[in-house]
Amino acid sequence: MPKPTISLTLHAAIAEISAAEWDQCAGGKNPFVSHGFLRAVEDSGSAGPETGWIPRHAAFRDAQGQLVACAPAYVKTHSYGEYVFDHGWARALEQAGGRYYPKLQVCSPFSPVPGPRFLRAPGAPDSAELAAALVQATGEMRLSSLHITFCEQDEYAALGDAGFLQRMGVQYHWHNQGYASFEDFLAALSSRKRKTLRRERRDAQSCGLTFRNVRGGDITAADWVAFYRFYQSTVDRKWGSAYLTDRFFPLLSDYLGDAVVLMLADDRGTPVAGALNLVGADALYGRNWGCTGDYPFLHFELCYYRALDFAIIQGLARVEAGAQGEHKIQRGYLPQPTYSAHWIAHNGLRRAVADFLGQERASVAAEIEGLRQLSPYRRDEAGTNADQEIS
């Protein structure tokens, strides 16, 4: 029986695709691929031609014009804001006389958050078939490569089978084993780690600060002004660039409502620190944080411990605390693999990258296994707090 005809169109703005159609494919589980999140990125000026993130969102339609799948995609003129680093690949191709930029990136902008990249309605073609259509479009646009970053494990496997180059990374996630309270979670830790976490929380909470969580429409304009100041302070300390504009954060709560949770610390009524989280169907995703003072363990309290409190109360399965940070392990966040898939047109570069990634995957897998030995959980609990297999 012949396969149904699927057509691909690329769109210069997320607004060209209806929110209802897009979100029906997205499924509502992961807010970072929702129409609202992508719209906030574009409407705020954070992603656009001026910033080197040129929207080319993929829409796959059947013969009746029904959207059956979609993917957030951008033509990139640089490699910033992706968190899967390929600057070395770009230099190698350019030194050989080739051109690496522009390239096509399928991702959630500025967000190292694993999730689906090919958003598929029931009965839609599989991710490998959709990716093949994007490979063809990449060639037609004379782009060097196609990169699908922080994809799900099943997408990674399917794309690898289809000939994409596979890359692994590592993040740190906390898993809720049905804990009834933060104390219940602490009971799963070794005695020494349990005492350390209690001391850190006590010290953070004895600084004279008051803590509050605000969601969606309850987040005021003043809260967002303060938070943007915190965001900039973190960027400044890391000698980085502020990818997100001051318009992004208030648009986020306008478009995503109660999926946005801002955890704030106030000093005599004035916000001095904050952590931004998004709530999905089964996870809390920690994204940005900042502070304008010096308070012991406040980062851990706002970004890790209060996130666990929230997840336990809400019955969420896990907390994903973002990129980097082996210090998260001792606070209950264990290493998990992350995945990306890459197609490179240039034969020589593709062979060289394939060799590099084969070695890198083995190194990352060994690193994850080694890091898991540092688990703070009691031996009888450690196995229940590991998530994905390493592949």
Alpha carbon distance 36, 22 (integer Å): 10
The predicted pLDDT at position 322 comes to 76
The predicted pLDDT at position 64 comes to 94
Alpha carbon distance 258, 145 (integer Å): 37
pTM reported for the whole predicted model: 0.95
Q: For residue 181, what is the DSSP state?
A: S
- 3-class secondary structure, 114: coil
Alpha carbon distance 262, 276 (integer Å): 5
The predicted pLDDT at position 1 comes to 41
Given a contact cutoff of 8 angstroms between Cβ atoms, the answer to whether 29 and 22 are in contact is no
Alpha carbon distance 11, 104 (integer Å): 13
Listing DSSP states for 236-249 in one string gives: HHTT----S-TTHH
Tokens, residue 272: 């001095």
Residue 189, exposed/middle/buried by CB under 10 A (0-12, 13-18, 19+)? buried
What is the amino acid identity at position 165?
L
Alpha carbon distance 210, 242 (integer Å): 28
CA distances to 47, 118, 285, 331, 376 from 300, rounded to whole Å, are 30, 34, 15, 8, 16
Query: For 243-276, what is each residue's pLDDT tens digit?
Result: 999 999 999 999 999 999 999 999 999 999 999 9
CA distances to 62, 118, 135 from 59, rounded to whole Å, are 10, 10, 14
Given a contact cutoff of 8 angstroms between Cβ atoms, the answer to whether 211 and 265 are in contact is yes
The segments of the chain whose pLDDT lies below 70 read: 1-4, 238-240, 380-391
Q: Are strands 283-291 and 318-323 parallel, antiparallel or unpaired?
A: parallel
DSSP E strand boundaries for 208-333: 210-215, 260-267, 270-279, 283-291, 318-323
